[in-house]
Structure 1
Amino acid sequence: MCEQPPASTPHHRGLVAASAEEPGTRRRLRGVVQVGGCVVLSAVSAELLAAYADNTGRLGPIMFAVVFFTALYGAPALLVREITRRAGWGWDSMLLLMLSLAIAQACLIDQSLFSEDYQNYDGWTETYQATLIPAVGVSVYNAFNFILGHVIYSFGAPIALAEAWKPHKAEDPWLKAPGLILAAAAYFVAAGLIISDPESQNASVSQLLGASLLVIACVGCAYALGKRHQKKASHGADEGASAPAVATVFAVMLALACLLNLTGEDWWGVAMAVAVTTVGGALIVVSARRRGWGLRHVAAVALAFLVSRGVLAFTYEPLTGTVAAWSKYTHNAVMLSLVLVAGWCALKIPGPSSTPGRSASA
């Protein structure tokens, strides 16, 4: 009979140590990739995917934008997700916290919502005037477009896709204390740089106060809904009709996302955008209550909006600056490819050990 090498030999101890450390190392590496991919995707989907700025097709400015918008959008997205998951809340609370971030971004940080001619973008003044409410100095179209855009593209969609990359860890915290501190510091530094820019000092005292109250109200509603979600979760999952197929969810939401992105910038366009958003939101809420709704369904919703934005970006020129056609279309193709890769990683069929439950409930 062959004898096994004694456990006390240095060779055997080295093998045992290596086998024990390798899985943990891989897990940490995958966690870093997940968090890093999420914040980069946040920067891409919020700013670069739409290809509207003069950094379109320019490698240096694009790399700077990735770093800066990772701090401005990706970092607070991570913080909101950490709060939600650690508290045991659902997507309804997380979306309300994202709404508070969106209002803060458009009204308190860059204050673009109150600007009549922000950064000299083509057509800004005309769009601002088309649905302006003079009493509050706000364009209704801009308010709906900016705030909803931040909720979806800056925060919501990247988190939805990133959570689906590791379904069995979707409800777990991603960050420890150093990561939380780094994310908070990055956000405050980036936000501070924006606020200090004269272009971002457009709001009156009353506008700042009103926006601050809205931010506080969103946080309060998120807390209230979070408590209700905890009580519902303790009673188990709903029974009844099965959720629609992931492909069906993607197709329907892609059609609605394209329709939303093609609405006009006048009052009729606002009415159409509100109607489309209401229909889409209602479909998601109803479907999320059905048996079998999960992370891949949520990821399909997110991917539909990102694909719509990326495809439509091929149809217009940047709003400022001049970009060569080959450079612009290369930029569009690369950004859309990044989104498609992220979507594929999220929607691929999970293995037996990573099959999620109803962690993605509304």
Structure 2
Amino acid sequence: MYEARYDHASDKEPTHLVVRVVPWDAGPAAVGGSYEVGEVMVRLLVGTLASAAVLLVGIDLVAGDGVQLRPGAVIVLVGALVVAFSRRRHVFWVGVVAAVFVGAMSLGPGIPDVRGDRGLAVAVVRALAWVSLLVAAAAGTRLIWTGRSRRDRKLKAGRRQAAPAENGLPRDWRRPAQVVGLVVLCAIGAELLAAYGESTGDPGAIAFSVVFFAALYGAPAVLTRDLVRRRGWGWPSMLLLFAALGVTEACLVDQSLFSSHYQGYDGWEESREATLIPALGISAFNAYNFVVGHVIFSFGAPVAVAEGWRAERAREPWLGIRGSLVAAVAYVGAATLILSDPESRSGSPVQLLSSVVVVAALALSAALVGTRGTATRAPRDTLRDVPVWAVFAVALIAALITGAVPETWNGFVVGTTVTGLLVVAFLAVTRRRPWPARHVAAVGLAFMVARGLLAFTYYPLIGEVATVPKYLHNTVMLLAVAAAGLVAMRLRDTRSPAS
């Protein structure tokens, strides 16, 4: 096994790179102490990930439940294979994320096992699986850290000191903070803001939901946003890709659009029957509510607000290779856990195949619209003279109307009409003059505020929650969204429009 080593001629800004190829097992003297990565640590990472996969499968076998292919075992096994066949520094992140993610997701069912609820053998196997995941995470972290040369670290430290701070926050930390804020905002907008689930008013369940839904919704949101920005596309392409993600979630991942009684939610069957299309086996209102809801609350509105935090970077990608890999692994892991639930297997083969065709058509449309827009785009004046609060007010009225319509055919017609008119108006205006990032953020904030306000009018559709925790939950979530949106709307930038 060989690897390219890079040595800078000095600690200053390098003018050239000297590349040497040395064996993996060469000692520090052979490489001058630079970029030392141990083959033993690589084997340890691969071995512990593979061992964890075997042990996770073995838990059910030891318990007498037969062989069951757990999603966690698949995730860590894929991580082991990726590291084994591509031993690059950024790939080690895949192993670390797989180990940490599976370990965190197994805490809930694993604690009773370790206590001995299913016997001593299961407790031992579960404990060994956790130890393997912990060692894998440590080995991967060690590989990532030692993969940096001391000179490279000094050079980066010098650049950080020389780089000016922006608004009091060092430049190196602003982009990660923006990404973390976006994925958390996606989790809040998609699930917690509506306050319809069992986690409402439960701090522990809320904390878990933030992490899990950040992976399920936030990770694909930031990946899609980065794809659009790297290609030089605009919001029309981004919304089409978000629609593809919405169809993927509702039809291919949790398959809730095809379910007649999903997860025991109150009123699910009555709502579905009110606008049922027998030939398709779906509810027209649910199709509108689920897909458009994902486009707006799970992806679009959080991205619009997050881009407003740093308007000068609204058209730039935020993730590198490493961050993209972490986001991809997080999304696949979360989606796999959803798919492992028997409640998420409601679609027929024909329905699933049709959903794949719709997703592909939306993705192709996004590429065609984006390519055409890139070819014809020219510098134009932006709508900076339009009051941002006027944009917020118009969007809030539209959002309240679409959010308050009944789950009937009349509600479906009103909701789709208002949504369609808003989209047409948005596209018509932006074709003439692109919007500043703060105006786009105002639209996203308006929809999330409307959802937060309407959540005060009902109780969760599943589970029991007392009055005080319920309204405290609504208040905290609405304040969090409002704070994030107000920051985006108040910041001004004259350099880069968002669309």
Q: 2:399 aligns with which of 240, 243, 257?
A: 257
The secondary structure found in structure 1 opposite 2:263 is helix
Counterparts in 2 of 1:177 and 1:266: CA distance versus 1, 3 Å: same
Q: Which structure carries more relative contact order (alpha carbon 8 Å, separation 6+)?
A: 1
Distance 1:284 1:243, change over 3 A: farther
* Distance in 2 of aligned mates of 1:301 and 1:190: 29
Paired residues for 1:260-299 under 5 Å: 260-291=402-433, 293-299=435-441
Report if the CA contact (8 A) 2:239-2:300 is conserved: yes
* Equivalent residue, structure 1, for 2:302: 158
1:356 and 1:200 map into 2 onto residues whose CA distance is: 46
Deviation at 1:264, TM superposition (A): 1.1
Q: Give distance in 1, aligned partners of 2:372 and 2:158.
A: 47
Are the equivalent residues in 1 in contact too, given 2:399–2:446 (CA < 8 A)?
Answer: yes
Question: Which residue of structure 2 lines up, in the alignment, with residue 38 of structure 1?
Answer: 182
2:463 counterpart (297, 321, 325):
321
Distance in structure 1 (CA, Å) of the matches to 2:257 and 2:337: 18
The reply on whether 1:83 has 2:227 as its aligned counterpart is yes
State the partner residue of 1:248: 390
Aligned to 1:101: 245
- CA RMSD after TM alignment: 1.9
Residue-by-residue CA offset, 1:239-268 (whole Å, 9 max, x unaligned): 9x8763211111011001000001111111
Alpha-carbon offset, residue 112 of structure 1: 0.1
The 8 Å contact of residues 381 and 434 in structure 2, kept in 1 or not, is answered as no
Q: Which amino acid aligns with 2:333?
A: V
TM-score (norm 2): 0.66
Query: Which has more radius of gyration?
Result: 2
- TM-score computed with the length of structure 1 as normaliser: 0.90
What is the aligned residue count? 341
Q: Output the amino acid matched with 1:253.
A: A
Following superposition, the deviation at residue 200 of structure 1 comes to: 0.2
Aligned AA (1:177): I
- Which one of the candidate residues 237, 258, 263 is aligned to 1:119? 263
Corresponding residue of 1:348: 490
- Aligned-pair CA distance for 1:20: 1.6
Show the counterpart of 2:16.
none
The percentage of aligned residue pairs carrying the same residue is 49
> Which one-letter code corresponds to 2:363 in the other structure?
V
Distance in 2, Cα, partners of 1:356 & 1:146: 36
Give 1:204's aligned amino acid. S
Gaps of 5+ in 1: 1-14
Displacement after TM superposition at 1:114 (Å): 0.2
Aligned runs of 1:170-319 on 2, under 5 Å? Answer: 170-233=314-377, 235-237=378-380, 244-291=386-433, 293-319=435-461
Aligned equivalent of 2:475:
333
Amino acid at match of 2:438: R
> How far does residue 30 in structure 1 lie from its aligned partner after superposition?
1.0
Between the aligned partners of 1:18 and 1:276, the Cα distance in structure 2 is 49
Instruction: Work out the CA distance in 2 between the residues paired with 1:17 and 1:44.
Output: 36
| Cα 1:30–1:136 shift into 2, 3 Å | same
Asked whether the 8 Å contact 1:243–1:288 carries over to 2, the reply is no
Q: In structure 2, what is the Cα distance between the partners aligned to 1:248 and 1:180?
A: 36
